[in-house]
Amino acid sequence: MGRFELIRIGDMTIGRATYAPGWKWSQHVGSKTGVTSCHVHHVGMVLSGRMMVRMDGGREFEMTTGDLFSIGPGHDAWVVGDEPYVSLHFEGADEYTSD
């Protein structure tokens, strides 16, 4: 239901996340690794679509096209609506795996 592509520019690794409607981290990534929440710090920008994030402490927020984000470790996330979600990741891409 998604992919996470990497490109290396010098010493920097940039990731591009593309997730279909219905994608959820805990279901499509965490359940395969036995981890209940993502422990990667993500810094990036949403190119299209919408994503809801729930921190382990319960705080929730939505990200949408054009938003810049910094999401600390300990969260779940899922695509909101019928449009695919696409984002660039400037930090955390080396540590992240996805399906």
Residue tagged 């921190």 (tokens):
55
The predicted structure's pLDDT at residue 38: 92
Percent of the chain with pLDDT over 90: 80
Task: Kindly state the helix (H) or strand (E) to which residue 2 belongs, with its residue range.
Answer: strand 2-9
Structure tokens at 14: 């940039």
Domain that holds residue 87: 2-95
- Report how many domains make up the chain: 1
Burial of 33 per CB tally in 10 Å (0-12, 13-18, 19+): exposed
CATH number of the domain to which 16 belongs:
2.60.120.10
12-22: per-residue pLDDT in tens?
A: 999 999 999 99
Structure tokens at 39: 């422990």
